[in-house]
């Protein structure tokens, strides 16, 4: 009769994902995980242990949360920046970095211009120099008043556009197409007098499209190499709907829908939260200033666009479905690292702009 020592031992080998470090009992479970996780070099990464996270919120929990990893948390607390989540060589390097990383709130729109200039901008004039030869991206924000019997229907009553240098290139009050039943004064600061003789919505839409198209033909707007400008904003779908305007999805850069800036469960954060967490200052403490919101979303976009993910070896991580080109038996023979090499991101990283 066989003794207990002579019984064959069951293998306890685990299959570990080299990206997020999850472990699986079976290789096919790891393969299925890799198919749906869309791991890529564009995901936020812990600078200590190199673990990838779905979002910066997940990375923040890994480094500073109640269940953070002790080794990573200790190093981050000494040499890590709470805004950009990078880790530096020494505490002195961190102090120097924070002077540039933590920004000041923008000067309110009305204070950036003289009275005459302000009236010119509010009337809807466009800076022609920037329209013809402008930057690659433009940030937009709309302020809404309420329509309908209960005032819950959002109507655009003010719009602002800024360039990458935070210059106002278009600003105007907007005449809603429906009667206003709630000016939402505590948030918008708008009154009946502000929009009584404002620019009609159709004219506003045409001027905005003129700026964004930048002389590009409608047929070329769907291409990546044209002259049209990227549109940056927070909740852009809402703003575009209020303007009765369409713009190609691949030309939109929305801080509310950018995967690394979303919550762990992929729900959007507010712009107020993102600005405080990643730029270091507060906005929207009283009446909302569309210029302040425009500048904040542009700063967020530029900060995350500057990330260097070293994509040379793995290539453009923008396409999905790479696992579909392999037979399952081929995938079973691949190592965890090889599985990661063929994994692709399911969103376009701003570092590719």
**pLDDT single digits (tens) 269-303:** 999 999 999 999 999 888 889 999 999 999 999 99
Range of 163's domain?
109-114+133-306
Domains in the chain, number: 2
How confident is the model at residue 200, as a pLDDT? 95
How confident is the model at residue 159, as a pLDDT? 96
When mean pLDDT is compared across 107-111, 186-190, 218-222, the lowest value belongs to: 218-222
How confident is the model at residue 109, as a pLDDT? 76
- Give me the mean pLDDT over the 220-244 stretch: 88
How confident is the model at residue 308, as a pLDDT? 86
Does a structural domain hold residue 119? no
3-state helix, strand, coil in the chain (%, to 5): 40, 15, 45
Please check whether residues 78 and 198 belong to one and the same domain: no
Does a structural domain hold residue 245? yes
How confident is the model at residue 315, as a pLDDT? 40
How confident is the model at residue 313, as a pLDDT? 44
How confident is the model at residue 111, as a pLDDT? 63
- Give me the mean pLDDT over the 80-95 stretch: 94
Q: What is the mean pLDDT of the chain?
A: 87
Please check whether residues 59 and 168 belong to one and the same domain: no
Task: Please state, in angstroms and rounded to a whole number, the distance separating the CA atoms of residues 311 and 317.
Answer: 8
Please check whether residues 161 and 264 belong to one and the same domain: yes
Please check whether residues 250 and 301 belong to one and the same domain: yes
Please check whether residues 299 and 332 belong to one and the same domain: no
Q: Is residue 6 very low, low, confident or very high in pLDDT (cuts 50, 70, 90)?
A: low
Determine what percent of the chain is predicted with pLDDT higher than 70.
85
How confident is the model at residue 63, as a pLDDT? 96
Contact (CB, 8 A) for 331 and 323: yes
When mean pLDDT is compared across 9-13, 45-49, 250-254, the lowest value belongs to: 9-13
Closest CA to 81 of 70, 68, 91, 71: 91
Please check whether residues 266 and 242 belong to one and the same domain: yes
How confident is the model at residue 8, as a pLDDT? 54
Please check whether residues 137 and 247 belong to one and the same domain: yes
How confident is the model at residue 165, as a pLDDT? 94
How confident is the model at residue 10, as a pLDDT? 54
Q: Is residue 12 very low, low, confident or very high in pLDDT (cuts 50, 70, 90)?
A: low
Task: Please state, in angstroms and rounded to a whole number, the distance separating the CA atoms of residues 157 and 201.
Answer: 9
CATH of the domain at 272: 3.30.420.10
Does a structural domain hold residue 247? yes
3-state SS class at 283: coil
The yes-or-no verdict on residue 204 having pLDDT over 70 is: yes
Q: Which long-range contacts (CB under 8 A, 24 or more apart) does 250-259 make?
A: 250/222, 250/224, 250/348, 251/212, 251/221, 253/137, 253/301, 253/350, 253/353, 255/297, 255/300, 255/301, 258/304, 258/347, 258/350, 259/54, 259/55, 259/347
Please check whether residues 249 and 347 belong to one and the same domain: no
């Amino acid at each position: 009769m066989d003794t207990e020592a002579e019984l064959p031992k069951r293998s306890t080998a685990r299959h570990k994902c080299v990206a997020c470090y999850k472990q699986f009992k079976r290789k096919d479970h790891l393969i299925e995980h890799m198919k749906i996780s869309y791991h890529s070099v564009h995901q936020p990464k812990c600078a200590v242990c190199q673990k990838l996270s779905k979002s910066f919120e997940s990375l923040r929990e890994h480094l500073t949360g109640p269940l953070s990893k002790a080794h990573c948390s200790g190093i981050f607390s000494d040499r890590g920046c709470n805004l950009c989540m990078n880790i530096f060589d020494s505490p002195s390097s961190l102090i120097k970095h924070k002077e540039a990383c933590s920004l000041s709130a923008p000067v309110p729109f009305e204070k950036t211009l003289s009275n005459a200039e302000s009236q010119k901008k509010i009337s809807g004039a466009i800076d022609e120099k920037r329209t013809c030869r402008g930057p690659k991206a433009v940030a937009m924000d709309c302020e809404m008043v309420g329509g309908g019997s209960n005032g819950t229907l959002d109507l655009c009553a003010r719009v602002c556009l800024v360039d990458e240098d935070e210059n106002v290139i278009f600003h105007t009050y907007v005449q809603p197409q429906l009667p206003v039943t709630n000016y939402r004064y505590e948030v918008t600061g708008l009154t009946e007098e502000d929009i009584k003789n404002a620019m009609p919505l159709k004219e506003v839409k045409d001027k905005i499209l003129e700026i964004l198209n930048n002389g590009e033909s409608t047929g070329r707007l769907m291409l990546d190499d044209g002259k049209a400008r990227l549109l940056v904003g927070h909740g852009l779908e809402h703003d575009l709907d209020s303007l009765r305007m369409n713009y190609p999805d691949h030309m939109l850069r929305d801080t509310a829908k950018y995967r690394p800036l979303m919550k762990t469960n992929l729900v959007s954060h507010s712009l107020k939260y993102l600005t405080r967490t990643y730029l270091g200052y507060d906005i929207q403490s009283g009446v909302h200033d569309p210029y302040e919101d425009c500048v904040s979303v542009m700063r967020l976009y530029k900060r995350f666009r500057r990330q260097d993910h070293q994509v040379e070896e793995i290539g453009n991580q923008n396409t999905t479905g790479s696992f579909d080109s392999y037979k399952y038996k081929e995938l079973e023979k691949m190592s965890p690292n090889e599985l990661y090499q063929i994994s692709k991101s399911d969103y376009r990283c701003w570092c590719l702009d």
